[in-house]
Amino acid sequence: MTQIATANPDMAMPEQLGLALKKNAARVIDLFRQWDTDGDGEVSRKEFHKAMPALGIEIADFDVDALFNAWDSDGGGSLDFKELSGILKGGAAKKPGSAGSKKGGK
């Protein structure tokens, strides 16, 4: 997963990161509990940032933020297991960097 930047130079970095995470969905879902460092059943933006190096991903903070914002479909500031699992399995999420979600709130 460390080769994100060269995977598709025409694709925005947050989109490349999203695809890399989706390709490794089983591992990402397994790591969810480790990412949830405070044990609240959700991954906060801060926890999401800390998770990237654990997956071997070195990427700019603003790109991680763009992906997090796209995946945080309800705008709650965190990703719960159901939200993350649905996205990784191909569910709807707004495109990183887009305004507005394709999906309604929870």
In a domain, 39, yes or no: yes
Q: What is the CATH number of the domain that holds 30?
A: 1.10.238.10
In a domain, 20, yes or no: yes
| Residue 13 and residue 70 in contact, taking contact as beta carbons nearer than 8 Å | no
Q: Indicate the pTM of the whole model.
A: 0.67
In a domain, 18, yes or no: yes
CA torsion 49→83→36→65, rounded to 10°? 10
In a domain, 94, yes or no: no
How many domains, the chain?
Answer: 1
In a domain, 102, yes or no: no
In the predicted model, residues of the chain with pLDDT beneath 50 are 1-3, 98-106
Domain that holds residue 40: 9-88
Task: State the residue for tokens 């989706």.
Answer: 22
pLDDT at 103: 37
pLDDT at 48: 87
d(CA 81, CA 63): 21
In a domain, 98, yes or no: no
pLDDT at 45: 92
In a domain, 40, yes or no: yes
pLDDT at 4: 55
Percent of the chain at pLDDT above 90? 8
pLDDT at 69: 92
